[in-house]
Amino acid sequence: MKKIILVVIAIVISIGINAQEKLTTKTGQIKFEASTPNFEPVAATNTATSAILMEDGEVAVLSLIKGFQFKKALMQKHFNSKKWVNSKEYPKTKFTGQVEEFIYDELTAEGKEYIISGKLTFHGVTKSVNPTATIKKVDDVVYLSTKFSVLVADYGINVKSKLAKKIAEKVNVEVDLELK
């Protein structure tokens, strides 16, 4: 009898977990910019970013490194090479986190700013980041937008001295997600 009660409790708990609303996208956009004055812009965009936002505020974002598109093919080739981000060895970047004080049912079309406490993994290195994001809901679509900066050195990327003046030490990141 005790086993039956435990099985029923486990089923009820799993139904509660699975009943949680989850919103996803496979067309999220991540842009980054690491330009310095007087040199060619260093910027790329990835429009094939996958993301999930759970009703409880848990969020995860995943992007393939080779999906970042530069204006110049040679810059993209250098970016993906072993000397830079080494996309063969480190093929993806991911962010996992929790939106603080998030209440899904209180989302509005005007939006609200939230802090997301999470971890960003890039180039095989995971660091804590806490970006501020604007989250709003229009009809059944949730929009999440954030801008934050990271240091190149924090992620183990060694910019050779010849190129150091052409690439900023601080990379500006912008994420836009349309979750359904």
Q: Are the C-beta atoms of residues 23 and 53 closer than 8 Å to each other? A: yes
What pLDDT, on the 0 to 100 scale, is given for residue 2? Answer: 46
**85 vs 4 pLDDT, higher one:** 85
CB atoms closer than 10 angstroms to residue 65: 21
Of residues 19 and 80, more confidently modeled: 80
Indicate the pTM of the whole model.
Answer: 0.87
Report percent pLDDT > 70 for the chain. Answer: 88
End-to-end CA distance of the chain: 43
Mean pLDDT throughout 35-43?
Answer: 92
Q: Output the six-digit token pair for 11.
A: 């089923």
């949680």: which residue's tokens? Answer: 20
pLDDT value at 16 more than 60 = no
Chain mean position to CA 167: 22
Determine the pLDDT at residue 158. Answer: 80
Distance CA 116, CA 100 (A): 6
Domain 21-179 has CATH 3.40.50.920: no
- In terms of C-beta density within 10 A (0-12 exposed, 13-18 middle, 19 or more buried), how is residue 175 classed? buried
Mean pLDDT computed over 83-88: 92
pLDDT average, residue stretch 17-34:
88
Cβ-contact 109, 138 below 8 angstroms: yes
Each domain of the chain, given as residue ranges in start order, spans 21-179
pLDDT confidence of 164, banded at 50, 70, 90? confident
